[in-house]
């Protein structure tokens, strides 16, 4: 799969290179913001690559929270008409936002000013149709896995209960359904996947290997760096406290162990689904910090990072924890940052026994914590910085251009 070689060299303006088949005028569209946290950071780092490369023509997003890239390159939809639907439930509101930005991007592509289109799964069906008709190379990023999550599902249109009237029919039309995702996969020239596990969910349904490009995320290794190891054993979980990320399994394992002179820190938004588990498996050595703008402050004060997720693309929190020099307990479903018995311990999702055993093992072996933590820091510095990401991103653009020729 293109892009999967690690240790990609950082781009250098001093390096003599052969002429590359790169875009001259890129249109980028995402139903998030440019600059911030989460996908907003990913969008900003991607735009840094195209802007520094001299071929960013326009980016469309729902807000612009950075100043490095001049504002004239970014069309902010902060005051968009879809805001009128913000009282709707999340699937409807976010579905409307995705479809609106796809419509805006399609109008931009019709101007004929662009020779490359880059967007995200769910955000771009209308624009991909325009790109295909005009023979504009295109690529889309998959934030997690194939829509069918690695299962062979007979392709049938999704059905919804009959709408009771015109209002309910219109409201249901706001949802982004499975067929929309699948159609985007077919239309795009290149599919960006964030991990080998994510790639496997496409392979299992017979997706062409040549359309997949491996592009793991990066991390700021100057911001996220090792701190002083605490005197007591302290485990940390970062990310939204939801079942998909395995928070209920972690709480159960921690409750079972009942470790003395140890702490568990939970850094992330506490969703309603996590509250019953916090009540059921509560221990007084659990500290719920909530969402934090500066997760590196907490990561750098801990012994290990625990992230037993059931489904991710390439969890950015595992990259951030590794940059902070933390050994980790995680799953293959969380991405490729951690290798079993090198930077941490890999378990199966939902295996509370294995999770408990891994936590206990680390709590009893500080040398193992130090050794795996040092290996984790080295791995991200050598393979997963934002410079590595942008170097691979340029390769992805070149690959998409070649496929579409």
pLDDT tens for residues 340-359?
999 999 999 999 999 999 99
Model confidence over 93-144: pLDDT tens digits?
Answer: 999 999 999 999 999 999 999 999 999 999 999 999 999 999 999 999 999 9
Instruction: Please compute the mean of the pLDDT values over residues 193-220 and round it to a whole number.
Output: 95
Burial of 404: CB neighbours in 10 Å, binned 0-12, 13-18, 19+: middle
**CA proximity to 230, closest of 86, 366, 331, 73:** 366
Q: Give the per-residue pLDDT at 292.
A: 95
Q: 375 or 151: which carries more pLDDT confidence?
A: 375
Residue 68 in this model has a pLDDT that exceeds 70 = yes
pLDDT of residue 139: 98
What are the helix and strand counts (H, E) for the chain?
13, 13
3-state secondary structure of 73: helix
What's this model's pTM, rounded to 2 decimal places?
0.89
The set of residues, in sequence order, having a beta carbon less than 8 Å from that of 266 and lying 6+ positions away, is 236, 237, 241, 247, 286, 287, 288, 289
Half-sphere exposure of 68 (CA within 13 A, CB side): 13
| pLDDT at residue 11, rounded to an integer | 43
Q: Average pLDDT of the chain?
A: 92
Read off the pLDDT band of 169 (50, 70, 90): confident
- Interval 295-314 mean pLDDT: 96
Mean pLDDT, to the nearest integer, of 220-235?
A: 96
Would the pLDDT of 149 be above 90? no
Burial of 122 (0-12, 13-18, 19+ CB in 10 A): buried
Residue 150 has pLDDT above 90, yes or no: no
């Amino acid at each position: 799969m293109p892009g999967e070689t690690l240790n990609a060299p950082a781009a250098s303006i001093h390096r003599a290179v052969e002429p590359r088949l790169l875009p001259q005028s890129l249109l980028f569209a995402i139903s998030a913001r440019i600059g911030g946290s989460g996908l907003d950071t990913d969008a900003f780092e991607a735009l840094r690559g195209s802007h520094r490369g001299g071929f960013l023509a326009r980016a469309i997003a729902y807000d612009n929270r950075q100043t490095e890239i001049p504002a004239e390159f970014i069309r902010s939809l902060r005051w968009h008409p879809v805001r009128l639907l913000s009282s709707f439930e999340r699937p409807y509101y976010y579905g409307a936002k995705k479809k609106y930005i796809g419509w805006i991007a399609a109008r931009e592509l019709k101007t004929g000013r662009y020779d490359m289109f880059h967007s995200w799964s769910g955000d771009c069906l209308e624009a991909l149709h325009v790109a295909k008709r005009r023979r504009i190379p295109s690529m889309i990023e998959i934030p997690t896995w194939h829509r069918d999550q690695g299962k062979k599902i007979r392709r049938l249109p999704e059905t919804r209960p009959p709408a009771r009237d015109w209002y309910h029919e219109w409201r249901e039309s706001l949802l982004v359904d499975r067929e929309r995702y699948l159609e985007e996969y077919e239309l795009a020239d290149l599919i960006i996947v964030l991990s080998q596990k994510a790639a496997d969910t496409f392979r299992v349904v017979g997706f062409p290997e040549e359309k997949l490009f491996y592009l793991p995320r990066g991390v700021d290794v100057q911001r996220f760096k090792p701190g002083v190891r605490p005197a007591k054993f302290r485990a940390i979980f970062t990310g939204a406290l939801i079942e998909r990320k395995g928070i209920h399994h972690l709480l159960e394992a921690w409750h079972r162990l009942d470790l003395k002179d140890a702490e568990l820190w939970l850094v992330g938004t506490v969703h309603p689904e996590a509250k019953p588990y916090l009540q059921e498996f509560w221990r007084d050595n659990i500290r719920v910090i909530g969402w934090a703008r500066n997760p590196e402050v907490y990561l750098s004060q801990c012994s290990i990072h625990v992230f037993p997720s059931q489904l991710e693309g390439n969890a950015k929190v595992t990259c951030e924890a590794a940059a902070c020099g933390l050994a980790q307990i995680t799953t293959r479903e969380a991405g490729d940052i951690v290798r079993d018995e090198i930077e941490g311990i890999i378990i199966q999702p939902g295996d509370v026994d294995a999770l408990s055993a891994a936590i206990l093992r680390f709590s009893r072996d500080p040398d193992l914590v130090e050794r795996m933590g040092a290996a984790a820091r080295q791995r991200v510095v050598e393979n997963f910085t934002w410079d590595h990401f942008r170097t691979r991103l340029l390769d992805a653009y070149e690959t998409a251009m070649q496929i579409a020729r």
